Amino acid sequence: MLRILVLCLLTLAGHPAAAGKSAPGATSLPVLALQRLDGTATTSAEWRGRPLVLNIWATWCPPCRSEMPSLQRLADRLEAAGIGVAALSVDEDANLVREFVLKYGIRLPVAIAATPGAAMSALGAGALPLTVYVDADGRIIERVLGPRDWADKALARDIRAKLAPALRVAGERR
């Protein structure tokens, strides 16, 4: 019981020991049926081909809502490096997602899971927010459970080092 409590506290504090890193031979990002904010259908396969930070969230999740503006700042910071940042909502009501995105000026790609429960299960998301780092080949190389300050420059450098190792991260100016 104490071990579980410590792990929960480490997760909430953002401790690396609780980051939930994937083992070697990481799994691939599953192909999920999605809906864009404009209502058109798509799949998660459209995200393949470049490194991606994918945040799984919901409007009913307070930590998810609070981290979304910093996730937008991360997207702005990583754009020049060719690393995408996207958000996958597991809300049942697409209108709530659209309202949230408009209210907070979120410009990064946001999609809504066509079947939220199935998407959470396929992604192994037992809790939210969950963020996965996906390489250009579609392999999940790391899972991060819990909210983060995605606007933190050191975190952006760490993500660059993991997803685009050939890039020089020391010279980041943002």
- List the chain domain ranges: 19-163
Hey, which bits of 47-165 come out as E strands? Answer: 52-57, 84-89, 110-113, 130-134, 140-145
Mean residue pLDDT across the chain: 84
Please give the Cα distance from 104 to 171 (Å, whole number): 30
DSSP 127: S
Tokens read off for 8: 């929960």
Q: Which amino acid is at 163?
A: L
pLDDT single digits (tens) 26-82: 699 999 999 999 999 999 999 888 999 999 999 999 999 999 999 999 999 999 999
Pick the CATH number of 19-163 from 3.40.30.10, 2.40.50.140, 1.10.3430.10, 3.20.190.10: 3.40.30.10
pLDDT single digits (tens) 82-128: 999 999 999 999 999 999 999 999 999 999 999 999 999 999 999 99
**Which band of pLDDT confidence, cut at 50, 70 and 90, is reported for residue 164?**
confident
Of 146-150, 160-164, 165-169, which range is least confident?
A: 165-169
Confidence (pTM):
0.80
pLDDT of residue 165: 66
14: helix, strand or coil: coil
